[in-house]
C-alpha cells in the first residue's frame, strides 16, 4: 500500500515514516526539507521503502502534481508549523495560519481526488488549551479551549478534516498527541523550541552539566516510538469506532521527575539549581494536565510500550549511536 506522510523529514514525521516503512507500507515522504545524513542513518533499511518528495503543502499546484504521478491509498498529515512561544507566534502569525490551515485544506483536496482509504490528521493536546495542574485529565469529550495560534489552527484543522470526511465520504480521524520526546527532535525551519528531554539528554551526551529550573512544571510526555506505533494502529484499523483519539501515556511528569530519571542513568552529570525562576511572559506557561488514552485502548487495545526510564535509555543510546550532540 502507498501511504503519503506530510512533514516526513520532521521530528514526528520521520518516526512515522520509519515505522510505516518497516511495517508493510510503501511511503511517500513529503516535506519542504529533503533528507540529510542524520535522517538517512536513522531510517536505516526502512529507507528502501521510502520515496522522498521535496515540496510545500501550501503549494496546491505541487500537490496536484502528486495526484497525477502517484496512486495514494492512505495519508498521514503531520506537516505543521509548531509555535509554543508568544514572541515567535507574533513574528510568524501568517506562516502558522498558511501552513496549518491552508496546507491542511490542500492535503485534504489531494485525499478527495485520490479517494484515499484513510486520512489521519496529526493534531496536538494544544487543542485543549492549558490546564495548570496534573490532576486535570482531558479526554476526547473535554471542550477544546485553544489559547494560541498553534492550538487554534490545530483545532480548526480537526474540524475541517471531519467535515471533508463527511462531505466526500472519506474515512478520516484526528489523533491528538501529548508532548513527544525522542530521536530526531531537532531545530528545523518549522520547529524552533526544543523539549527539556532534548536539552538534558544533549547535555549528558556532551558531558555538560544541567541547569535545573521551573521544576514543578510538567506535562504528559510520550516517547516518539509509541506515537508512531499508535498512529499506525489507527491508520491501519479496519474500522474506526471514533474519529478522534488522544495518543498519550496519561501520566503527568514534572521536570523534577524527568531530572531524577536522567540523573539515575547519568549520575556523574552535574546539576545546578537556578538561583531564580525565569519570569514568564505572555503565552509561555508550559504545564498542561494529562490527556486520557482510554478511548484508544478501549477501541483497539493499544497501550504505550515505553515508560520514562525505558524512553530515556533508548533516547540516550540513540544520541550516542548517532553522534547527535546538539
User: Confidence class of residue 192 from pLDDT cuts 50, 70 and 90?
Assistant: low
What would the grid cell of residue 88 be?
A: 515567535
Number of domains into which the chain is organized:
1
Predicted confidence (pLDDT) at residue 319 exceeds the cutoff of 70 = yes
Range of the domain at 36: 2-180+222-250+291-305
Q: What are phi and psi of 175, to 5 degrees?
A: -120, 115
For 22-75, where are the alpha helices, taking DSSP H only? 37-43, 60-69
Q: What are phi and psi of 44, to 5 degrees?
A: 60, -135
Q: What is the pLDDT of residues 144-167, one digit of tens each?
A: 999 899 999 999 999 999 999 999
What would the grid cell of residue 193 be?
A: 523550541
Q: Per-residue pLDDT averaged across 195-213, rounded?
A: 94
Does 93 reside within a domain? yes
Q: What gap in Å lies between CA 250 and CA 140, rounded to an integer?
A: 13
Please give the pLDDT value at position 278. Answer: 52
Does 235 reside within a domain? yes
Closest CA to 33 of 150, 180, 188, 187: 188
Instruction: Please give the distance of CA 310 from its chain centroid, rounded to a whole number.
Output: 19
Does 92 reside within a domain? yes
Instruction: Provide the whole-model pTM.
Output: 0.95
Does 191 reside within a domain? no
Please give the pLDDT value at position 279. Answer: 46
Determine which helix (DSSP H) or strand (DSSP E) holds 175, and give its type and residue range. Answer: strand 172-177
Does 158 reside within a domain? yes
Please give the pLDDT value at position 194. Answer: 84
What would the grid cell of residue 72 be?
A: 495514494
3-class SS at 213?
coil
259: exposed, middle or buried (C-beta count within 10 Å: 0-12, 13-18, 19+)?
middle
Q: Per-residue pLDDT averaged across 268-295, rounded?
A: 74
Does 13 reside within a domain? yes
- Helices and strands (H, E) in the chain, number of each type: 12, 13
Task: Find out whether 123 and 174 touch, Cβ atoms under 8 Å.
Answer: yes
Q: What is the pLDDT of residues 257-278, one digit of tens each?
A: 999 999 999 999 999 988 755 5
Per the rule left: phi > 0, alpha: psi between -120 and 50, beta: everything else, 323 is left
Task: Find out whether 106 and 63 touch, Cβ atoms under 8 Å.
Answer: yes
Q: What is the pLDDT of residues 73-127, one digit of tens each?
A: 999 999 999 886 788 888 889 999 999 999 999 999 999 999 999 999 999 999 9
Q: Per-residue pLDDT averaged across 175-187, rounded?
A: 95
Does 79 reside within a domain? yes
Task: Find out whether 77 and 121 touch, Cβ atoms under 8 Å.
Answer: yes
1: exposed, middle or buried (C-beta count within 10 Å: 0-12, 13-18, 19+)?
middle
Does 114 reside within a domain? yes
Predicted confidence (pLDDT) at residue 52 exceeds the cutoff of 50 = yes
Predicted confidence (pLDDT) at residue 284 exceeds the cutoff of 50 = no
Predicted confidence (pLDDT) at residue 190 exceeds the cutoff of 60 = no
User: Tell me, what CATH number does 142's domain have?
Assistant: 3.40.50.720
Amino acid at each position: 500500500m502507498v501511504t503519503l506522510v506530510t512533514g516526513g523529514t520532521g521530528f514526528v514525521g520521520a518516526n512515522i515514516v520509519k515505522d510505516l516503512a518497516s511495517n508493510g507500507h510503501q511511503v511517500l515522504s513529503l516535506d519542504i526539507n529533503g533528507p540529510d545524513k542524520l535522517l538517512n542513518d536513522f531510517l536505516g533499511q526502512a529507507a528502501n521503502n521510502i520515496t522522498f518528495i521535496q515540496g510545500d503543502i501550501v503549494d496546491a499546484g505541487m500537490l496536484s502534481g502528486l495526484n497525477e504521478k502517484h496512486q495514494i491509498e492512505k495519508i498521514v498529515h503531520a506537516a505543521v508549523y509548531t509555535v509554543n512561544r508568544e514572541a515567535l507566534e507574533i513574528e510568524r502569525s501568517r506562516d502558522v495560519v498558511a501552513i496549518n490551515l491552508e496546507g491542511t485544506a490542500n492535503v485534504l483536496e489531494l485525499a478527495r481526488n485520490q479517494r484515499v482509504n484513510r486520512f489521519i490528521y496529526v493534531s496536538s493536546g494544544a487543542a485543549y488549551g492549558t490546564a495548570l495542574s496534573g490532576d486535570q485529565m482531558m479526554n476526547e469529550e473535554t471542550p477544546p479551549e485553544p489559547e494560541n495560534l498553534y492550538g487554534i489552527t490545530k483545532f480548526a484543522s480537526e474540524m475541517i478534516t471531519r467535515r471533508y470526511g463527511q462531505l466526500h465520504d472519506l474515512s478520516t480521524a484526528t489523533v491528538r498527541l501529548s508532548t513527544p520526546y525522542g530521536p530526531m527532535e531537532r531545530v528545523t525551519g518549522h520547529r524552533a523550541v526544543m523539549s527539556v528531554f532534548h536539552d538534558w539528554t544533549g547535555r549528558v551526551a556532551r558531558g555538560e552539566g544541567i541547569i535545573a529550573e521551573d521544576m514543578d512544571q510538567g506535562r504528559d510526555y510520550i516517547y516518539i516510538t509509541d506515537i508512531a506505533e499508535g498512529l499506525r494502529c489507527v491508520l491501519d484499523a479496519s474500522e474506526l469506532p471514533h474519529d478522534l483519539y488522544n495518543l498519550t501515556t496519561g501520566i503527568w511528569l514534572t521536570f523534577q521527575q524527568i531530572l531524577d530519571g536522567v540523573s539515575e542513568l547519568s549520575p556523574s552529570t552535574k546539576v545546578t539549581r537556578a538561583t531564580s525562576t525565569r519570569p514568564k511572559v505572555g503565552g509561555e506557561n508550559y504545564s498542561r494536565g494529562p490527556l486520557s488514552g482510554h478511548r484508544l485502548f478501549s477501541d483497539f487495545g493499544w497501550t504505550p510500550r515505553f515508560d520514562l526510564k525505558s524512553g530515556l535509555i533508548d533516547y540516550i543510546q540513540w544520541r550516542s549511536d548517532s553522534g547527535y550532540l546538539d
